[in-house]
Homo-oligomer: A and B are copies of this chain.
């Protein structure tokens, strides 16, 4: 049958990561590809208790239709969390989303007309690029260096493209690079957004996944004019399966997001919202997060140690102080997709070729490695196999 799809469907393709989830269910494969948090650190029994508690209590309301904004006591808890990060607001400033992925989709729907220009970090989170692309934007890519987004490059872009709708950033342990935006740049980002009339979309699911050093204030901290929409997520610090995220921003913007939320799924699963609210009320997450971070840090150290010691000297890589990912650049002439194919076939180790993190592809010599999905022993064994393969393919000069 010849279906007349909407034009936007020409862009539709399977996400590499979602597809590699299917590969990852093959237990003989060592996957550094997915962004899955380590399930050993999910508070399963605690969530079971909170969930039962909710269903022992007011189960009728917990299973009924509810308001699109989200469960008020959960929103209060999330506001408290934001306040602890220096960002203050009330219930009209925060709604619950079905994971922060929905936040990305709703924000794009709110702001992007076909042909509109938006700025993304180069590289950036593929799930965001994927969500945005269906609304037909032109992506403008801003450079990054070890201090995160390059503000001079951003200013150059904004000057040249006065119509930019928003600047999308992941300031903390960016996906895919693991980079952190330096403090002065956060302030400057808001100033530039003000000056050029753009919004900022701050996506910060890894904020609390920090191994060393003190947390930096969010970009939103510097926002006095409803210029920044902040996207938060429970997926990396609690668990992703419950699909709980949130958006915080100016009341006018948030009200419009509620309309879109109504059209998208009426509201987020109420039982999950109440379960997470109960969990946050009863539990101090800091102890568990400390253990989680220690564990990720240990694996990251194993990973970077093996890269330093055994990978070809010509590869460059980031050494993140948090988050789930590090980024690798091979010498220009090497193709990460070909290495992926070889690696899957010969040593059953997978990662994500980097070109998928650029809206218009390219950068074929880059790749992302995740240190959150497999334990220390498997990390060592997978990385050693990868070292052998990379040395075979990429001879030292």
Residues of A within 8 A of B (CB): 1-9, 12-15, 18, 21-22, 34-37, 39-40, 42, 44-45, 47-48, 51-52, 55-56, 59-68, 98-99, 101-102, 105, 109-113, 116, 127, 130-131, 134-135, 165, 197, 199, 225-227, 235, 239-243, 250, 252-253, 256, 258-260, 262-272
How many chain copies?
2
Query: What's the Cα separation between A272 and B227 when bound, in Å?
Result: 36
A111 touching B5 by the CB < 8 A rule?
yes
Do A268 and B240 contact each other (CB < 8 Å), given the known contacts A3-B252, A9-B110? no
What are 5 A-B pairs at a CB distance below 8 A? A39-B64, A98-B98, A98-B243, A101-B263, A241-B271
Chain B residues with CB below 8 A from A269, complex form: 98, 241-243, 269, 272
Determine whether the beta carbon of A64 is less than 8 Å from that of B240.
yes
Which residue of B6, B67, B199, B266 contacts A127 across the interface (Cβ within 8 Å)? B266
Rounded to whole angstroms, the CA-CA distance of A60 and B43 in the bound complex is 9
The interface residues of chain B lying within 8 Å CB-to-CB of A98 are 98, 243, 265, 268-269
Shortest A11–chain B CB gap in Å is: 9
Task: Tell me whether A22 and B67 are in contact (CB under 8 A).
Answer: yes
A262's contact among B15, B47, B51, B243, by CB below 8 Å, is which? B15
User: Does B59 contact A44, Cβ atoms closer than 8 Å?
Assistant: yes
Bound-state CA distance A22–B72 (Å) is 13
Name which residue of chain B comes closest to A245, CB basis. B265
Most chain B CB atoms below 10 A, which of A101, A111, A250, A259: A259
Cα A103 to Cα B271 in complex, Å, equals 21
Closest 8 CB pairs of A and B: A39-B60, A44-B59, A63-B239, A48-B55, A241-B270, A63-B241, A12-B259, A98-B265
CB atoms of B262 and A1 under 8 A apart: no
